[in-house]
A = this chain, B = another copy of it.
Amino acid sequence: MTTARESSTGRRTDQDGPTVVRRSGPVLLSEVAAHAGVSLATASRVLSGSRSVGEPHRGRVLAAAQELRYTPNAQAQAVARGASNVVGLIIHDVLDPYFSSIAGGVMREVEERELVVFLASTHSDVDRELEFVQTMRSHRVRALIICGSRTTDRAHNERLVHELEGYAAAGGQAAVISQDRLGTHAVVPQNRAGARELGRELVRLGHRRFAVLAGPRGLLASRDRLTGFREGLAAEGVDTADLQVLHGDFTREGGERLAAQLVAEGSTATCVFAVNDVMALGALAAFRAAGVRVPEDVSLAGFDDIAPLRDVVPSLTSVRLPLAEMGARAAQLALDTEPQTTSQTVRVDAEVVLRDSTRRLA
């Protein structure tokens, strides 16, 4: 066996052996063409499946490609073709079932079209969100999907809109899953209406004194759900002036902390509404730890109806959102809409699902 070093150009070493092909770096189309004895153009045509290929040649190119283990350079293809086949997806956290369910829906739709997805998680950091949008722009993603509640942070919103305008101007399609505030396509869960209906149902169960475990004040999803919940209570004749509202993180830990606080304060609420399910799960754990029984001592309701809810006892009352479908819908909006079209908004209904965690009061 020869120990001949390869030429510094990193190209193939010419040897007299049969087909001993040592090389560094991927196989090139030009090599396939040469190996098949045709021009680069014809090789490109048969492998790109474009059109018109002579049968003596066609087969030889295919054979050469297979033998050489040729894999086209998607990046170069995208540059030459002027359009990439990747979709960007920005979420807060893969570990959060809310986001992973949506991601699942997006990916199903994306993979169906033989595209690839860039996934980035902001961990609720607005600066990272902005960075990722830039990164996605840079990679010329043909569609960009941003999910996660918008906030009242005007400065951030403006920068984001600015960035998205640049993206759109360059021919990119974007869709958000949350509130319709960015001038892009939008899949908008009916947070307010859903929470309103939940409020009404809970009052109908006989509850009058409520506490709400809310997210950060600037988070629109939390805000909308709180507003809707208030409306629901009011619609059923409950005075919401003294509604107890605690603000914390939009996470399991947030819910845990707030519920503990509720217990410590000796809240007299008979029913607690956590504005999302992960917070509700945290609250459930805190109540359990404090010896407060759900629903005997206090009723508990969440929002989103995430998958892990299936495995908790008592089963948790929630407001169902078709998460996977929302993701899929957003992907459709971004992928199947003609550029230069006015952006569309898809409203998604939320449905109250009463379960064991909310009891009927005597």
Contacts and interface: CB of A to CB of B under 8 A. Distances in A.
A64 B76 CA distance: 27
B312 A134 contact: no
A358 interface: no
A307 B135 contact: no
Specify how many copies of this chain sit in the oligomer.
2
Contacts of A15: none
A27 B308 contact: no
Contacts of A86: 118, 139
Contacts of A139: 74-75, 86, 116
A79 B77 CA distance: 10
A49 interface: no
Nearest to A284: B311
Given A26-B170, A138-B73, A311-B281, A107 B78 contact: no
A323 to B, nearest CB: 10
Contacts of A24: 171
B84 A94 contact: no
Given A74-B138, A74-B139, A95-B97, 10 more contacts: A71-B137, A71-B166, A72-B138, A75-B75, A75-B84, A95-B104, A100-B100, A116-B139, A288-B313, A308-B311
Interface of A: 23-27, 69, 71-76, 78-79, 82, 84, 86, 93-95, 97, 100-101, 103-104, 107, 111, 116-121, 134-135, 137-140, 162, 166, 169-171, 281, 284-285, 288, 307-308, 310-313
25 contacts: A24-B171, A26-B170, A27-B170, A69-B162, A71-B134, A73-B79, A73-B138, A74-B135, A74-B138, A74-B139, A76-B79, A86-B118, A93-B104, A94-B100, A94-B103, A95-B101, A111-B120, A116-B118, A116-B120, A117-B118, A117-B120, A118-B119, A119-B119, A284-B311, A312-B312
